[in-house]
Amino acid sequence: SAVISQKPSRDICQRGTSLTIQCQVDSQVTMMFWYRQQPGQSLTLIATANQGSEATYESGFVIDKFPISRPNLTFSTLTVSNMSPEDSSIYLCSIPRTSYASGELFFGEGSRLTVL
Amino acid sequence: SQQGEEDPQALSIQEGENATMNCSYKTSINNLQWYRQNSGRGLVHLILIRSNEREKHSGRLRVTLDTSKKSSSLLITASRAADTASYFCATGGGTSYGKLTFGQGTILTVHP
């Protein structure tokens, strides 16, 4: 199985600030996926991070709020900008587990953000 | 409900008992997956069942799929305290790649 390291594992942030979450994978992958899990809720895909191109954002998520970098095939960052308490969530990085078509994913341990 | 809805939302049982969780979904699927999440941490893939399969086993896990009813069930037999977690079903894959649609999840508590 793949090893996915996320940093930070948790943080407490002030309203109006921005925080960058890092995701490091121990193997090269073309696509990486960023999910959000709001308190007591299920997971929602924020965007797909492709190496060498702009991230593809899902409906309701925009680049200005969640800029993503993908400088190489093993690393990605997600920034949560101008945070408000509504951004308090667990943010999870994931990669394909087998073939892309199966949709099976490996997940990182998540980054739990609390915005005051 | 989850694209799927999961049922029940919470389940509390004693060690050794079986736990059954249900998931319903709304659209046609390529496959359906089940994941476990311990204490708000990362998700762990448990099992995948394809749309042309009706039942699948993995260790103490048994998954069924009824595409006519757009529903699936996850059975954990002889549960252990370590099975305490949230369980999510998810649909997607195919041309959607990593875009999975998760259900709301079932919180399972297994008492020793």
Find, among A83, A72, A87, the residue nearest to A38 by Cα.
A87
Tokens 């305490």 belong to which residue? B84
Q: How far is B17 from chain A (nearest CA, A)?
A: 26
pLDDT tens digits, residue range B66-88? 999 999 999 999 999 999 999 99
Q: What is the mean pLDDT of residues A19-32?
A: 94
Residue A99's pLDDT band (cuts 50, 70, 90)? low
CA distance A24 to A75: 5
User: Residue B12: what residue type?
Assistant: S
- What is the pLDDT, as a whole number, of residue B1? 34
What's the burial of B112, exposed, middle or buried (CB within 10 Å: 0-12/13-18/19+)?
exposed
Half-sphere exposure of A96 (CA within 13 A, CB side): 21
Q: What is the mean pLDDT of residues B22-33?
A: 91
Residue A102's pLDDT band (cuts 50, 70, 90)? confident
pLDDT tens digits, residue range A30-88? 889 999 999 988 999 999 998 888 899 999 999 999 999 999 999 999 999 999 999 99
Interface test with B, best of A61, A99, A102, A113 (most B CBs within 10 A): A102
Query: What one-character DSSP code corresponds to residue B24?
Result: E
Residue B28's pLDDT band (cuts 50, 70, 90)? confident
- What is the pLDDT, as a whole number, of residue A84? 97
- What is the pLDDT, as a whole number, of residue B2? 41
The 10 Å CB-count burial string (b at 16+, else e) for A55-82 is: bebeeebeeebbbbebeeebbbbbebbe
| A58 interaction partners in chain B (CB closer than 8 Å) | 99
Residue B40's pLDDT band (cuts 50, 70, 90)? confident
Question: Is A69 an interface residue toward B (CB < 8 Å)?
Answer: no
Question: Is B56 an interface residue toward A (CB < 8 Å)?
Answer: no
